[in-house]
Amino acid sequence: MSSAPNGLFAYPIVQAPMAGGASCPPLAAAVCEAGALGFLAGGYKTADGMYQEIKRLRALTRRPFGVNLFLPQASHVDPAVVEAYRGHLASEASWYEISLAEEDIIGTCDDGYDAKLAILVEDPVPVVSFTFGLPSPEALTRLRKVGTYTIATVTSVEEARAAQAAGVDAVCVQGMEAGGHQSTHRDDPRADGTAGLGLLALVAQVRESVALPIIAAGGLMRGSQIAALLAAGAEAAQLGTAFLACPESGADPLHKKALTDPLFVRTEMTRAFSGRPARGLVNRFMREHGPYAPAAYPQVHHLTMPLRKAAAAAGDPQGMALWAGQGHRLARALPAGELVEVLAAELAAAQHALKTMQMRSAS
């Protein structure tokens, strides 16, 4: 069995790497300083942009932290389906008075992965996690030689078994409740809306299938939920939406407000913003364009980026990608360090209550 990640944190709490700006150095540093594991998101950044954020984080904390990488995606996307969606979005572009340029976005599928990996081998960080697939055994060997702890995000038992075979140190098990992208290793449109398990059921199945430490992720907002996942066999819990509302988070203020705004009552999976299934607050853009969005990631992400930026600039959350997990209404706008302490206290209280109940049952 791979060694558990407990030496990386005082509390079994991990701040999720949220690409797009939310997981910035100030947030990660505050989480680390409070005794949990903070993460930077390498996705959607250049290799140098990622490295500059690592240097900023190192200036803010000396505690262990992680960096997340997106795996390169298959490039066999039909340009015609992307262009058809561009045409479908013409009214959206007109509404925000911008143009969707005709630049080539078909070949932008690797997210600078090789260059980012090279940086992380040359100047190692304590933890590297992977999303949208598995790194090669060779890449894992390179990271292991420089002392980096590796984590693969998985959404099924099959993916967890493949991660163990590849040689990662741990798996981050993501349930369907999670906000943002579902980190499936294979994007299958036929599975939209039908595939995937809730977190508790998935953790139990993975626990019985692989001999790897488990970090549980998906809709977690309270310490009592973390206690339940630890009791089910996880070593730690990863929270994203819970940290999104923190003042240190780099998320847009409109996004933070929307988490608890009564106007946004539920979340759904959609391909509308990126071409890959992702959970967000249901808004106008999702309702109007989701049914027409093709399975074309990251091309659709690049195509809709100007629209999302224009919506944010206009103060219009109805046109933004408001990623959020199912527990979003429980968000607390606390400083990140304080949130870690509150979660840890809730966890301790829940574990004490469970232990007391067990002792009473045994007597």
Q: What is the pLDDT of residues 30-87, one digit of tens each?
A: 999 999 999 999 999 999 999 999 999 999 999 999 999 999 987 778 999 999 999 9
Of residues 8 and 225, more confidence is placed in: 225
Phi, psi of 206 (to 5 degrees): -65, -40
| Residues forming beta bridges with residue 11, ordered by sequence position | none
For residue 221, the model assigns a pLDDT of: 98
pLDDT digit string (tens) for 301-358? 999 999 999 999 999 999 999 999 999 999 999 999 999 999 999 999 999 998 888 8
For residue 74, the model assigns a pLDDT of: 78
For residue 234, the model assigns a pLDDT of: 98
For residue 289, the model assigns a pLDDT of: 97
Q: How confident is the model at residue 3 (pLDDT cuts 50, 70, 90)?
A: low
Q: How confident is the model at residue 102 (pLDDT cuts 50, 70, 90)?
A: low
359: helix, strand or coil: helix
CB atoms within 10 A of CB 210: 22
Average pLDDT over residues 84-96: 95
Return the percentage of the chain with pLDDT > 90, whole number.
87
For residue 226, the model assigns a pLDDT of: 98
Phi, psi of 37 (to 5 degrees): -105, 115
- The sign of the torsion formed by the CA atoms of 43, 39, 279, 93 equals negative
Phi, psi of 83 (to 5 degrees): -65, -35
Classify the phi-psi angles of 58: left when phi > 0, otherwise alpha if psi is within -120 to 50, otherwise beta: alpha
For residue 5, the model assigns a pLDDT of: 78
| Residues forming beta bridges with residue 180, ordered by sequence position | 279
Dist CA 246 CA 45 (whole Å): 22
CB 34 within 8 A of CB 61: no
**Residue with token string 């091309």:** 299
| Residues forming beta bridges with residue 238, ordered by sequence position | 14, 217
Residue 10, CA distances (Å) to 28, 45, 92, 217, 236 in order: 15, 30, 47, 18, 11
pLDDT digit string (tens) for 244-276? 999 999 999 999 999 999 999 999 999 999 999
Average pLDDT over residues 204-208: 97
Average pLDDT taken over every residue of the chain:
94
- Say whether pLDDT at 126 is over 50: yes
Of residues 110 and 107, more confidence is placed in: 110
Average pLDDT over residues 153-179: 98
For residue 361, the model assigns a pLDDT of: 83
Phi, psi of 298 (to 5 degrees): -95, 15
Nearest Cα to Cα of residue 74 among 174, 153, 185, 161: 185
CB 93 within 8 A of CB 307: yes
- Say whether pLDDT at 1 is over 50: no
Average pLDDT over residues 186-192: 78
CB 54 within 8 A of CB 87: no
Q: What angle do CA 6, 334, 7 make, to 5 degrees?
A: 10
